[in-house]
Amino acid sequence: MSTFVIEGGHKLSGEITPQGAKNEALQVICAVLLTAEKVIISNVPDIRDVNKLIFILSELGVKVEKINQDTYSFQADELDLDYLESEKFKKDGSSLRGSIMIVGPLLARFGKGYIPRPGGDKIGRRRLDTHFEGFIKLGATFRYNKDEKFYGVEATQLIGTNMLLDEASVTGTANIVMAAVMAKGITTIYNAACEPYLQQLCKMLNSMGAKIRGVGSNLLIIEGVEKLDGCTHVILPDMIEIGSWIGMAAMTKSSLTIKNVSWDDLGVIPRVFKKMGINLELRGDDIFIPEQESYEIQNFIDGSILTISDAPWPGFTPDLLSIILVVATQAKGSVLIHQKMFESRLFFVDKLIDMGAKVILCDPHRATVIGMNHESSLKATTMTSPDIRAGISLLIAALSAKGTSTIHNIEQIDRGYQNIDKRLQAIGAKITRVD
Ligand SMILES: CC(=O)N[C@H]1[C@@H](OP(=O)(O)OP(=O)(O)OC[C@H]2O[C@@H](n3ccc(=O)[nH]c3=O)[C@H](O)[C@@H]2O)O[C@H](CO)[C@@H](O)[C@@H]1O
Ligand SMILES: C=C(OP(=O)(O)O)C(=O)O
C-alpha cells in the first residue's frame, strides 16, 4: 500500500493538461475485440485501471503495441479464448470494473463471453443485471456460477430486437451496443445511457463500419452489420479530472488554467461549479480559474438551500459529487449533496469532519455541508482512500489543510489519475509519494 504525504496550505499556479478519459478508454479499448484489423487509439491515460485492461487484452492474445506515450495499436486477429476459462483470468478480470465490457464484443464476434464478478470502487451494490438482460434479449443463453461468482453468455447468432433498459447503465449500454453491432437485424435500445463516453464509443464503432443512429440520445437504433474494420480513435479529455482540477483550484485559492478541455462535451459540469460560486472563464478551449479569496454558493431562486444531485447524462455525473462536497466545506453558504446512485459513496465525510469540516451526513445518500468560507482551515490528518473519487477529494482537502496530512491506499487514486503527484508538484503542491 503506497502513501501520499501532503504539506497543505500552498497555492498552486500554472497550467494543467487533462489526461484522456478513464471511462471512455475502458469502453473503446474493449471495442478493439470487435475486429481482426488494427485499431489505433490515442490519448490513452496511463492509469492503473486502463493498464490492467490492456494487460488482460494482451493475455487474451490481442497484439498490443505502444506507438508513443499515449497511443496504442491493438490487433485482435488471433485470440486465445481458452484464457477466458483459466484461473488466471478469474483473478485478472475481477480487478477492475471496466473488464465487464469485454463480454459484449466477445459474444458478438466469437459467440461467447465470460467474466468474473468485476471489481472497481466499493461504493455500494453494483449490479450487472442490465448487461445480461440485454444479452439475453439479443438471444444469448446466460449462466452464473454463484460459488465462483463467474458469469457467462453464449449464442450462435445474436438477433436484433427492441429493448427498454431497466436503468441507464453506462457500462451496460456500452456492452449491449457492442454486442448488437454485429447482430442480425435491427436493435433498438431505449433508456440507453448517453454519457460522452458512450457517444465516443458509438462514433468509433460507426467509423469501423457499424450503423448506429441516435448517438447522444437515450434511444439508439443499431442496424447489424457482418463485420467491422479497423480505425483510429482519439479519447476525449477526462471530464472528471477536469472537475477535480477546478475543485482543487477553488479549495487552495489558486489560479489554474486547464488546457484543451473540450468544453462542448462537459455538459452541466461548469454550470454546477459556477453554482458553487467558482469563477470559470472559457478561453479558447481552455478553462481559466482566477484566484478567489471566497466563493459563495448560490441559493435556489426562492431562497431555499441549493441541492446538488447526480443523474444519468445529461444530468450531473455522480463521479464529481465527492469533489463538489469537499469544495463546499470552504465555500460561503450551505448545500445539500444528494448522491442518488451509490449508497456508500459519502461515508468518507467522516474524515472531513475529523479535519474540522461542518458536514452532517443525513443518511447514506445525503449530506448537508455548511461552508466555512475559509475562516478556519481544515486540519491535517492521516486518512485512507476508500475509493477513487473520495481519494481525490481527501487529497484536495489535504492540499488546502493546515499542516501535513497522510493518505494511505493511494492505489485507489492511481486507478484514475495519471501521475497525480508529479503533475501537482509541477504546479506548486508539496506532495510526496512513499512506497
Ligand atoms: C467504468 C465506468 O464507466 N464506470 C462508471 C459507470 O459505472 P457503471 O456502468 O458500473 O454504473 P451504472 O451506470 O451501471 O450505474 C451506477 C449506479 O447507479 C445506479 N443507477 C444507474 C442508472 C440509473 O438510471 N439509476 C441508477 O440508480 C445503478 O443502480 C448503479 O448502482 O457509470 C457510473 C455512473 O455514472 C460511474 O460512477 C462510473 O464511474
Ligand atoms: C466509480 C468509478 O470507477 P469504476 O466504475 O471503475 O469503479 C469512478 O470512476 O468514479
Give the active site residues. 121
Minimum-distance ligand to the CA of 344? 1
Cβ(197)–Cβ(20) below 8 Å:
no
Cα(265)–Cα(288) distance, rounded to whole angstroms? 17
Q: Which atom of ligand 1 is nearest to the CA of 123?
A: 31
Cβ(53)–Cβ(26) below 8 Å:
yes
57 Cα: distance to centroid of ligand 2 (angstroms): 20
What integer pLDDT is reported at residue 121 of this predicted model?
A: 65
Residue carrying the nine cell digits 476459462: 85
User: Cα torsion for 412, 386, 197, 314, to the nearest 10°?
Assistant: -150
- Ligand 1 pocket check for 171: Cβ under 6 Å: yes
Cα(296)–Cα(328) distance, rounded to whole angstroms? 9
pTM of the model: 0.97
Residue carrying the nine cell digits 452541466: 268
User: Cα torsion for 70, 73, 74, 78, to the nearest 10°?
Assistant: -150
- Ligand 1 pocket check for 126: Cβ under 6 Å: yes
Is 23 annotated in a binding site? The answer is: yes
- Ligand 1 pocket check for 201: Cβ under 6 Å: no
Per-block mean pLDDT, blocks of 10 residues, the chain (435 long): 96 98 98 98 97 97 98 98 93 89 98 88 80 98 92 97 98 98 98 98 98 98 98 98 98 98 98 98 98 97 96 98 98 98 94 97 97 97 94 98 96 95 98 95
DSSP code, position 237: B
SS3 string, 14-57, reads EEECCCECHHHHHHHHHHHHHCCCEEEEECCCCCHHHHHHHHHH
Comparing CA positions, the residue from 96, 104, 86, 85 lying closest to residue 33 is 104
* SS3 at position 333: coil
Q: Edge-to-edge, what's the strand order for the sheet holding 366-370?
A: 306-309, 334-338, 366-370, 359-363
Minimum-distance ligand to the CA of 309? 1
Distances (CA, A) of 105 to 87, 228, 335: 21, 11, 42
Is 341 annotated in a binding site? The answer is: yes
What integer pLDDT is reported at residue 434 of this predicted model?
A: 95
ipTM: 0.99
- Please give all residues whose beta carbon lies within 6 A of any atom in ligand 2, as ranges: 22, 49, 97-98, 120-121, 319, 388-389, 416
Cα(75)–Cα(382) distance, rounded to whole angstroms? 45
Type of residue found at 409 = N
Residue owning the nearest CA to atom 10 of ligand 2: 319
Is 22 annotated in a binding site? The answer is: yes
Q: What phi, psi does 255 have (nearest 5°)?
A: -105, 125
- Ligand 1 pocket check for 26: Cβ under 6 Å: yes
Q: Which domains does the chain have, with CATH numbers?
A: 3-19+237-434 (3.65.10.10), 22-234 (3.65.10.10)
Q: Which atom of ligand 2 is nearest to the CA of 119?
A: 7
Comparing CA positions, the residue from 313, 231, 195 lying closest to residue 31 is 231
What integer pLDDT is reported at residue 20 of this predicted model?
A: 98
What integer pLDDT is reported at residue 120 of this predicted model?
A: 64
What integer pLDDT is reported at residue 117 of this predicted model?
A: 87
Q: Which atom of ligand 2 is nearest to the CA of 121?
A: 7
Q: In testing the pocket of ligand 1, which one of 99, 341, 342 has its CB within 8 Å of the most ligand atoms?
A: 341
Q: What phi, psi does 226 have (nearest 5°)?
A: -70, -45
